[in-house]
Structure 1
Amino acid sequence: MNLNTWKTKIKIDLNFDLNTELLSDNSMGIYFEFNAVNSIMVHFKPLNELFKLNSPTGGKGILLHFQRDLIDEDDIEYALDVMSIFNKYPQLHIKEAREVERIKRLIELLKEEYFSSTVSYIMLKTLLKVILLHLIRFQNNELLPQDIYQKRVFHFLELMEINFLHETNAEYYANQLGISTKRLNQVLQDKLNLTAKQIIQQRQITEAKRKLIRSAVTTKELAFELGFESISSFSRFFKKNVGVSPTVFKSQQES
């Protein structure tokens, strides 16, 4: 993978503030705020959201942000676990000395690799995965309160991740959650500022881009895989959301 390609997938910012431009609207972010010797406040930015913090502490933190398709390159269980830590809680406070030291050491290794003249994308991805797995394990051990609406958002995202290729109707997910479609949309709009349909469509676009970039899939095959009735309806949908047709998008990535 060449330099320009991996730079579009993962980025480290050492001087983060609320005006820092992220990789894209489809990127996920983790801001590590170092408040004391044995304390790290971890702030998560899920897809389609903003960081829930007032003002970062200048040079006392580090921002990692990466495209969500980076985690899709691994197995579905890992991807769901990552989505879980990003959508369960906006912050995670790590105070246990050994865990703080472990996270700091992994971040330093990631920084060294990222800014190295011989940087390896595989190494970056591996180090990021190790950090995420530590955060997943730590969060799973924390007994933090979680409101019912946040649980419903997470359950919706989990269901969608598994079923979006063949279930694109919001009513299906509302039935699975035992609430009305109207109530589901109210909860999602309150927490994510998006309706179920908009979130599903964003996921379809992400998947379409991933397949167009990483495989030899044709527009016809992709339209069928994503549940569209015709190539023309898929092409219109893709162009409306991306700005160019699937064919043009694929050729741009190959050039």
Structure 2
Amino acid sequence: MNSWKTKIKITVNFESNTELLSDNSMGIYFEYDSDETLVVHFKPLNEVFSESTLFSTQGVLINFERDLIDEDDIEYALDVMSLFNKFPQYHIQDAKEVNQISKIIELLKDEYCSATVSYIMLKTLLKVLLLHLIRFQNDELLPQDIHQKRVFQFLELMEVNFLKETNSDYYANELGISTKRLNQILQDKLNLTAKQIIQQRQVTEAKRKLIKSEITTKELAFELGFESISSFSRFFKKNVGVSPTVFKSQQHS
């Protein structure tokens, strides 16, 4: 896959958020505090790493676009979203766990730098790494910010329902808060409103379907809940820069 470099990036000792692939990417920074302690920093969608993270003198950044997890089953995608939104960082202090994570990171780095790099291998190794982190995090009983919890609950609901529910009121009602309060929390944590996040998810899904399937623009517009092809085409071009037809032809050229 020729475009794999736009989907995943591995950086040793990164120094600035400008090095990230995009705002709509996910990042994990592994800071080696000692041989037996690994500090794991998470950058969820639409956020950046804190300045204190960038002061680390030794570490590895693994940065990837969200469609790497969207290509798999929804349960896995939700687990990954939970991993990134529960806690901004946590410490792995078990020597065996640190060793396991370090070995997977080295395999990822070796594959990433290989002259015969395989996109499938990168994606598989990334999945193994994420599954290990999910398991380790689930074993930890850490305090969770109530607003961060609401963010995850919203993202989880949206992931399951965005194809049929695009109104912010629906998600606010499901969470038992007002739409105004939901938007305040999302603005504070992600700097986006509920509607903007839903639209961002629609764009990601539209791009994925146009690349991966033979779906027509009309079928896709209907599937994403648009009233007409023209309204979907305007929405897609506004967010992507080209029409759905042009985007699809560019991906298959």
1:248 pairs with one of 241, 246, 249:
246
Q: Give me the whole-angstrom Cα distance separating, in 1, the residues matched to 2:244 and 2:201.
A: 16
Q: Equivalent residue for 1:72?
A: 70
Q: Is 1:41 equivalent to 2:30 in the alignment?
A: no
Q: Equivalent residue for 2:152?
A: 154
Q: CA RMSD in A?
A: 1.3
Q: Equivalent residue for 2:215?
A: 217
Cα deviation for residue 24 of structure 1 reads 2.0
1:23-42 to 2 correspondences below 5 Å: 23-42=21-40
1:93-104 to 2 correspondences below 5 Å: 93-104=91-102
Cα deviation for residue 59 of structure 1 reads 5.4
Q: Give me the whole-angstrom Cα distance separating, in 1, the residues matched to 2:34 and 2:103.
A: 15
Q: Equivalent residue for 2:20?
A: 22
What is the one-letter code of the residue matched to 2:93?
K
Residues 6 and 121 of structure 1 are in contact (CA less than 8 Å); yes or no, is this contact kept in structure 2? yes
Q: Equivalent residue for 2:114?
A: 116
Cα deviation for residue 65 of structure 1 reads 0.8
Q: Give me the whole-angstrom Cα distance separating, in 1, the residues matched to 2:42 and 2:228.
A: 38
Q: Give me the whole-angstrom Cα distance separating, in 1, the residues matched to 2:44 and 2:66.
A: 10
Q: Give me the whole-angstrom Cα distance separating, in 2, the residues matched to 1:214 and 1:52.
A: 35
Residues 33 and 56 of structure 1 are in contact (CA less than 8 Å); yes or no, is this contact kept in structure 2? no
Q: Identify which range, 159-168 or 8-17, moves more after superposition.
A: 8-17
Q: Give me the whole-angstrom Cα distance separating, in 2, the residues matched to 1:203 and 1:19.
A: 22
Q: Equivalent residue for 1:86?
A: 84
TM-score calculated relative to the size of structure 2: 0.96
Residue 28 of structure 2 aligns to a residue whose secondary structure is: strand
Cα deviation for residue 53 of structure 1 reads 4.2
TM-score calculated relative to the size of structure 1: 0.96
Q: Equivalent residue for 1:176?
A: 174
Residues 27 and 67 of structure 1 are in contact (CA less than 8 Å); yes or no, is this contact kept in structure 2? yes
Residues 1:44 and 1:53: Cα distance change in structure 2 (over 3 Å): farther
Q: Identify which range, 54-63 or 237-246, moves more after superposition.
A: 54-63
After superposition, what is the alpha-carbon deviation per residue over 1:142-195, rounded to whole angstroms, capped at 9, x for unaligned? 111112211111100000000000000000001100111111111111111111
What is the one-letter code of the residue matched to 1:136?
I
Q: Give the count of matched residue pairs.
A: 253
Residue 166 of structure 1 aligns to a residue whose secondary structure is: coil
Gaps of 5+ in 2: none
Q: Equivalent residue for 1:50?
A: 48
Q: Equivalent residue for 2:229?
A: 231
Runs of 4+ in structure 1 off by over 6 angstroms are none
Residues 184 and 196 of structure 1 are in contact (CA less than 8 Å); yes or no, is this contact kept in structure 2? yes
Q: Give me the whole-angstrom Cα distance separating, in 2, the residues matched to 1:12 and 1:153.
A: 27
Q: Give me the whole-angstrom Cα distance separating, in 1, the residues matched to 2:165 and 2:221.
A: 14
Q: Give me the whole-angstrom Cα distance separating, in 2, the residues matched to 1:60 and 1:208.
A: 38
What is the one-letter code of the residue matched to 1:5?
S
Query: What is the percentage of aligned positions where both structures have the same residue?
Result: 78
Residues 205 and 238 of structure 1 are in contact (CA less than 8 Å); yes or no, is this contact kept in structure 2? yes
Residues 33 and 57 of structure 1 are in contact (CA less than 8 Å); yes or no, is this contact kept in structure 2? no
Cα deviation for residue 25 of structure 1 reads 2.3
2:143 pairs with one of 142, 145, 153:
145
Residues 1:10 and 1:128: Cα distance change in structure 2 (over 3 Å): same
Gaps of 5+ in 1: none
Residues 17 and 55 of structure 1 are in contact (CA less than 8 Å); yes or no, is this contact kept in structure 2? no
Cα deviation for residue 57 of structure 1 reads 4.8
